[in-house]
Structure 1
Amino acid sequence: MSDGANTEPVTSFMDRILNLKAEEDQIKEDIKSIYAEAKAMGFDKTALGDAIARIRKLQKDPEKLSEREAIRDLYLQAYEEASHAHAPARTREG
């Protein structure tokens, strides 16, 4: 910025963003702690994360998620049908 320019707006934006980033870091630590607690109780952390991700996607845009899952299922079905059509893999003879 040039000399004598009002820097208040930009510093205000930057301070607000920095404060939110600090809160975000704390929230990430809290989430990490909850996952560790769940893992200590025997829950599968990856499966739990997958379930959370799906719920969040469903909450944001259920129609888009439904469409994406239908396409994924179509791809899986095509793959499974194609893999049954191929000859079984050969094993090495020792």
Structure 2
Amino acid sequence: MALDATDKDGPASKAGGVAADRLRSIVERIERLEEERKALSSDIKDIYAEAKSAGFDVKVLRTLIRLRKQEAAEIEEQETLLDVYRRALGM
């Protein structure tokens, strides 16, 4: 296979028109982040276990964390709808 003037690094640097070094770098970065995410997930699981052993309700903690990520108006709207639905069901 003949090399053209733009492919100075040879066939190993580009395979099928893809810059192999760049691709390898991207894949390795993703793999490192996936490992970090796995470690963080394990840490979070440990914290929930600690909370449970301290007597906290993990389901409620998860709800609190989800709510803290939302805007106040969004939370208020959900609580209003929940109240309307409860009344409709006679709760």
TM-score between both structures, scaled by the size of structure 2: 0.68
Q: For 1:19 and 1:71, locate their aligned partners in 2 and report how far apart those are by CA, in whole Å.
A: 40
Q: What is the total number of aligned residue pairs between the two structures?
A: 76
Correspondence for 1:8: 21
Stretches of structure 2 that go unaligned for 5 or more consecutive residues are 1-14
User: In structure 2, what is the equivalent of residue 47 of structure 1?
Assistant: 60
Question: 1:70 and 2:84 equivalent?
Answer: no
Aligned residue type for 1:37: E
Question: Share of identical aligned residues, percent?
Answer: 30
**CA radius of gyration, larger in:** 2
Q: Which runs of 5+ in 1 are unaligned?
A: 59-64, 85-94
Structure with the bigger percentage of strand: 2
Partner of 1:36: 49
Matches within 5 A, 1:14-33: 14-33=27-46
Q: Which has the higher helix share?
A: 1
Q: Which 4+ runs in 1 deviate beyond 3 A?
A: 80-84
Distance 1:53 1:43, change over 3 A: same
